[in-house]
A and B are shown apart, each in its own frame.
Chain A
Amino acid sequence: MNTVAVNGVGLLAPGLSSWASGKACLNGEQAWVAEKLDKIPAPDILPANERRRTSAFIRMAVKVAQEALQAGNQDGQNIPSVFASSCGDFDVVESICIALSMPEKPVSPTDFHNSVHNAPAGYWSIANSSASASTSISAAYSSFAAGLMDAVSQLMSGEPQILLVASDIHSSEIFSRARPVKYPFACALLLATKETAHSICQLTVRTDMNKGEATKMSVAGLEDLRIGNPSACALPLLMRIASGKDSDVDLPYQHNRLLKLNVAR
């Protein structure tokens, strides 16, 4: 069993414009309304020339990362990061695939440079002047769970703190015909081996991963969000963190197995 402290949270999804405002919807104090996400402004923590190149996918990831870090009252320079995303940047990949379907194949250099799965991690490191290690992973509908395991494994290997960011953007026009990711969703957790004055709860990640059914959201709209975006598989955990009550949460993992978590004050 691996237990870590949750010292900051970031959130961005339809009707959940931040963790600060969204947690009231998750713990039931406020009704959740399925509002479309506002256009995300380019992050001001980036230098102007980098800011210009950011896509909506990159902006989402950077925004939640920033919120979690600020909530934990930390500077990002010395904090390693795990960026989890099942599908990466649909808009950028679509733009490249459209270019490749034309006779001259006019791939935009900026699109190609943004197409790497670790583009959000790269921009984040530039924004924070951080030389710390960063990984970018993908694991379909268990991307958040795999990212959490990776982050916890780094804490257990001696890192005092780590930032986990999970994000997937709704699929672009042509890709949406193949298999839509229906909604945009991003969240971030600032995790640490030690609790601080900013700690929200403790999170235990079990290493036994039995088969079973993952925890669902009780509000129908939020359940639709959960199954409509791979990163939104984090929602039941975020709901438990928001509720302030001790409880177990089971996240979906591969081969019908579960990542079994416990949230405690």
Chain B
Amino acid sequence: MQKSGKSQLNISAWTLTNALGLGSDASLQGLQERRSGLRANDLPDIDLQTAIGRIDGIEETMLPEAWQQFDCRNNRLALLGLQQDDFMAQVEMARAKYREDRIGIFMGTSTSGIQEAERAFAHFNQNDALPVNYDYWHSHNLFSLADFVSRVLNLSGPAQVISTACSSSAKVFAAADRHIKAGFCDAAIVGGVDSLCQMTLYGFNSLQLVSGQPCRPADKERDGISIGEAAGYALLEPVETDDHASLRLLGYGESSDAYHISSPHPEGKGARLAMQQALEMADVSASTIDYVNLHGTATPANDASEDKAVLACFGAKTPCSSTKGWTGHTLGAAGITEALFTCLCIENDFIPGSLNTSRVDPDILTNIVLENRSARISRVMTNSFGFGGSNCSLLFGKES
């Protein structure tokens, strides 16, 4: 429970990369043209019939000479993401303003560079030894991501990786806000990077949660997730008195389901609490929220649970949709990806209608928007819920 009043952070720069393409324009165009980034699985080491949100260009991305030891798919994606939207130049300006050791780095990931461990174990199977170039700390370890990003951005402020499954890169906003309030840093880079790997595809498949076709959030026939990969970053700075009508983090809420490690609470108890806390922190009522970007993974249980939570919190009128049909579920990068999607909605005045959803499940009672619509959007809620019953809701808006 947050008791210290509103968050006062501007989102002064941001960038996102996912199956829709590199940089925020690609995401905006994909959302507006209703073009899905999902494709039939074409990963060479994964023999599953499913759709994936794969990003072109990761394999060709080379890490700088000085940071070769960090080489893995996840850090290549981290770098590819950083290189878009002039983000690094804007961080450079912030670095001059705040000092390199006063900018914190809060990154979310669920699996970091685990693909290197997968390869190392395959090698072990054949050779009874790990490959000599397997570097646990710089690739597979979760912190590798924040370590790599801090080196590329030349920052030495407080750094942590949050790994709470699919809420990871939503919770980074809350952590950054609190670290700034406590005086540990003056500004923050928040972000999330998760990349396709065998562990998540075969793991979710073992739980029978992967759809054989592109995911269909809230659809009557929905039958599981499509997994995607993504990178996203935002620069958060305290609001200054002469800032007006800037894009802001208005509130956040975090909770636990205390129900089951890999299934959501059937009534969405924790999810509801997270949304209510975000509203309370921002000191706004649910009726003033113009759009709810759902976690909307497209598993039968998740969408049903979230629907009950959103209905309890917002009623049946507030427009809602999931954007997983565009990108797939990007797991530890879902929070930042969808947070920045909502920023695109605010900046461009539209609500994305749930892609791939043809018939809304009659048991789903919230207002699921199916087609894109133009609308003035000033406040948006975005939900991220993960295994372990970890829930996070973020509230963004344009406030003066």
Contacts and interface: CB of A to CB of B under 8 A. Distances in A.
Nearest to B100: A255
A112 B203 contact: yes
B350 interface: no
B10 interface: no
A211 B125 CA distance: 43
A125 B257 contact: yes
Contacts of B273: 131
Nearest to A254: B159
Contacts of A209: 101, 158
A138 interface: yes
A158 B256 contact: no
25 contacts: A53-B261, A99-B202, A100-B122, A102-B125, A107-B202, A109-B262, A115-B199, A116-B163, A116-B386, A122-B388, A123-B261, A125-B256, A125-B389, A128-B258, A130-B256, A131-B258, A131-B269, A133-B1, A134-B390, A136-B163, A140-B137, A146-B160, A178-B136, A179-B136, A209-B101
B61 interface: no
Interface string B117-142: 11011101100011000101100011
Nearest to A102: B125
A105 B53 CA distance: 22
B214 to A, nearest CB: 23
Nearest to B185: A207
Given A100-B118, A135-B162, A157 B178 contact: yes
B202 A100 contact: yes
A30 interface: no
B164 A118 contact: yes
B400 interface: no
Contact of B390 (A88, A97, A118, A130): A118
A158 B389 CA distance: 23
Nearest to A171: B136
Q: What are the 4 A-B residue pairs with the smallest beta carbon separation, nearest first?
A: A158-B3, A122-B388, A117-B163, A112-B203
Interface in B354-374: none
Given A116-B388, A138-B141, A257-B101, A101 B125 contact: yes
Given A125-B257, A157-B182, A136 B164 contact: yes
A87 interface: yes
Given A122-B388, A125-B389, A157-B181, A138 B161 contact: yes
Contact of A93 (B114, B177, B256): B114
Given A112-B204, A116-B164, A138-B141, A129 B258 contact: yes
Interface of B: 1-4, 101, 110, 114, 117-118, 120-122, 124-125, 129-130, 134, 136-137, 141-143, 146-147, 150, 156, 158-165, 171, 175, 177-179, 181-184, 198-199, 202-207, 254-262, 269-270, 273, 386-390
A248 interface: no
Contacts of B255: 131-133
Contacts of A50: 261
A2 B182 contact: yes
Given A118-B163, A153-B178, A138 B143 contact: yes
A130 B202 contact: no
A174 interface: yes
Given A100-B202, A107-B202, A129-B258, A153 B181 contact: yes
Contacts, number: 217
A97 B117 contact: yes
A50 B137 CA distance: 31
Given A157-B4, A175-B136, A134 B262 contact: no
Contact of B141 (A87, A108, A119): A87
A117 B164 contact: yes
Given A102-B125, A112-B199, 14 more contacts: A53-B261, A86-B141, A97-B199, A101-B121, A116-B261, A118-B165, A131-B270, A134-B390, A139-B160, A143-B143, A150-B175, A153-B181, A177-B129, A179-B136
Contact of B121 (A97, A114, A116, A135): A97
A96 interface: yes
A157 B122 CA distance: 46
Contact of B163 (A132, A137, A157): A137
B182 A131 contact: no
